[in-house]
A and B are shown apart, each in its own frame.
Chain A
Amino acid sequence: MTEYVIETEQLSKSYKDKAALRGLDLRVPTGSIFGFLGRNGAGKTTTIKTLMGLLHADSGSARVFGLPASDANSAVAIRRRIGFVTEDKELYPYMTVEEIIRFTRAFFPAWRDDLERRYVEMFDLPLKRRITELSKGMRSKLMLLLAICRGADLLILDEPTDGLDPAAIEDVLRELVSIAATNGTTMFFSSHQLSEVDLVADHIGIIDRGKMVATGSLDDIKARYQHLRVVLDDARQAPVRWGDGVESARQEGRVVTLLVSRNAEAIAAQAQELPGAVVERYPVTLKEIFLEHVRSN
C-alpha cells in the first residue's frame, strides 16, 4: 500500500486563455479523510478531473494508487478502485433508480449489497422513479450510494453535500465517517462547509488560483496557527515589522491582533518585550485560516 493514495507534482493545466492549475503539489495520505478547500474557480474540479483521467495535464504528474493518471490503461485500473461523485450530480435521465444501481453494480465485483439496502432505506430512494424526476438532493444521495457501494479504496467526492438539507448532510457525513472507521477507505472531498470539514477531516489542502497554498494534517495546522492579542501601553509602540510567521496584523488603538502561522512562541516573546504589553493567545478556526489564505494572495 503506497503512503500517498493521491500524489501530484507540479501539475499544470490551461484552458485557452485561463490557467486552471499552476504547478499544483498535492499529497493525500492513504486512509485519511482529506478536505480539499478552495474558492469557486480555484481549480478543485480541474484537479479532480485530472486524477480521474478525464483531462490531460499540460505538464507535471499525477499518480493515484501509485499509478499514472494520464496513462489510459492504468486509468481504468484506478477507476476500478474509486467511487466518484461529480459536481453537478448528473446521471442518465432515461434510467430509473433501480436500473442505474443494477447498471453500476455490474462493473464492480466487490459491490456491497448490504450497504445498498441500507442506503436505499436511509436516503428514502424511490426505486422505480426515473432520474429526470428526482430533485438535486435526491440525485446527490443516489450518487453517494453508487459511489460508496462499489467497495472502493478511495472516494473522490466533489461537493458531496451540495443541495442537501442539514439533516441529510448529517446523515451523509456520519456514513462517510463510519466507512472510514470500518474499512479504512481514503476520502478526498471538496466542500464549502468548513465547519463540517473541521470536524470530519484529518488532513486538508487549500487551493487558490491553481496552486496549493496550505496543506497538511489539520491538527498540525491548527496547532501552528494562533491569534495573538497584544494590548500595548501606547498605540505608537506597535512595531512596524513583526517577525517571520505573522500572516496579518491588525491594529485598533492600543490593541494589535496578529494571525501567526508558525513561530508563535518567538512572536509572542517579541510582543512580550514591548513595554507594558499584555499578550494573550487564542486558537484559530479553519474558517479563519481559509479566509486568510485565499484573500491575501
Chain B
Amino acid sequence: MLWYKGWLETRYRLLFCIGWATVFLALVHPAHTTPMPLGAKGSVFSVVMLSCPMVVLVGCAMLGGSGVVTQPTLQAAKGLHGSTLYTLSLPVSRVRLLAVRASVGWLEIIGLVSLLCVSLWVLAPALRTVATPLQVVKYAATIIACGSMLYGVSVLLATFLDDQWRTWGAMGIGVGLWWLCGYAKVPEATNIFRAMREGSPLMAHAMPWGAMGFSVAMGVALVIAAAKVVQAREY
C-alpha cells in the first residue's frame, strides 16, 4: 500500500511534468521541417538539448520524496508534523518508507523521460533522419543517469522539508548546478549538464560514462544520506 500512497501523492505532479514536457514538444514541431546542421540554433537538436535536461530537472524536484514528511500542517505554527506522525505510527521501518517513496518517484522519472524521448522521435521526422533509434535509447539512458544526482538532492531535501519548500529548494539547487556547469570550470567527468547536451550520444556519438557514473554515484550517496537522516531525526 505504500506504493499506492506514493502514487496518490505524486500523480498530479507527474501530470504537471508531462504538461511541462508537452510545451517543449510543441516547440519541436516547427523545427522538424527545416533540416539544419547539427547543433545550429533553432534546429531540432537544440530544442531537444534544452528540453530534456529541463524536464528532468523539474521532474526530480517535483517527484522526489522521503515518504515521511509530506504535507505542510493545516496549522503551520505547530511545526513540521501534519500526517508525519500518522505515517511514523505505522509498523513500517523508516528506511522502508523512504525506499518505497523514492522508488515511486524514480520510476516516474524513468517513465517521463522515456515518454518524452518516444514523443520526440514520433513528432520530429528531422530527428529520425540524423539519429538512429538506438541512439535515442542511449540518449534517454544518459538523461536518466545524469538526473540521478538531481533526484538524490530532491530526496535528501524531502527528509526535512515539506513538499512546497522541497520543490523550490531542489529547483534552486538544480538551476545552481546548471549555472555552475555552464559558466564555471567544472571537470568534464562531473559536468552532468554538459553530458546531457553536447556530450550526449546524439551529439558526440559516445556515451559520457564519466558524468553518468559520477551522477549515479552521487545520487546513491545522497539517498543513503537521506536514509540516515530519516532514521536519526526526531519528529
Q: Are A90 and B86 in contact (CB under 8 A)?
A: yes
Q: Are A84 and B89 in contact (CB under 8 A)?
A: yes
Q: How many A-B residue pairs have CB under 8 A?
A: 74
Q: Are B8 and A55 in contact (CB under 8 A)?
A: no
**A92 partner, pick from B5, B91, B234, B235, beta carbons under 8 A:** B5
Binds A, one of B49-57, B66-74, B111-119, B141-149: B66-74
Return the chain A residue nearest B70 by Cβ. A92
> Which range holds the interface residue count of chain B?
20 to 34
- Asked if A91 is at the interface of the complex by the 8 Å CB criterion, the answer is yes
Q: Are B90 and A91 in contact (CB under 8 A)?
A: no
Q: Are A103 and B89 in contact (CB under 8 A)?
A: no
Question: Which secondary structure characterizes the binding site on chain A?
Answer: loop
A52–B84 alpha-carbon span in the complex (Å)? 13
Q: Are B93 and A95 in contact (CB under 8 A)?
A: no
Chain A nearest CB, measured from B89 CB (Å): 4
- Asked if A107 is at the interface of the complex by the 8 Å CB criterion, the answer is yes
- Asked if B85 is at the interface of the complex by the 8 Å CB criterion, the answer is yes
Q: Are A107 and B92 in contact (CB under 8 A)?
A: yes
- Asked if B41 is at the interface of the complex by the 8 Å CB criterion, the answer is no
The answer to whether residues A82 and B89 also contact, given A54-B235, A93-B71, A102-B1 and a CB cut-off of 8 A, is yes
Binds A, one of B20-28, B75-83, B120-128, B174-182: B75-83
Contacts of B231 in A (CB 8 A): 72
**A107 partner, pick from B1, B70, B78, B235, beta carbons under 8 A:** B1
The answer to whether residues A76 and B91 also contact, given A86-B86, A90-B73 and a CB cut-off of 8 A, is yes
Residues of B82-115 contacting chain A, CB below 8 A: 82-83, 85-86, 88-94
Contacts of B4 in A (CB 8 A): 103
Contacts of A79 in B (CB 8 A): 89-91
Q: Are B92 and A55 in contact (CB under 8 A)?
A: no
**A94 partner, pick from B8, B74, B94, beta carbons under 8 A:** B8
**Interfacial residues, chain B to chain A (CB-CB below 8 A):** 1, 4-5, 8-9, 70-71, 73-75, 78, 81-83, 85-86, 88-94, 231, 234-235
**Interfacial residues, chain A to chain B (CB-CB below 8 A):** 49, 52-56, 72-73, 76-77, 79-80, 82, 84, 86, 88, 90-95, 99, 102-104, 106-108, 143
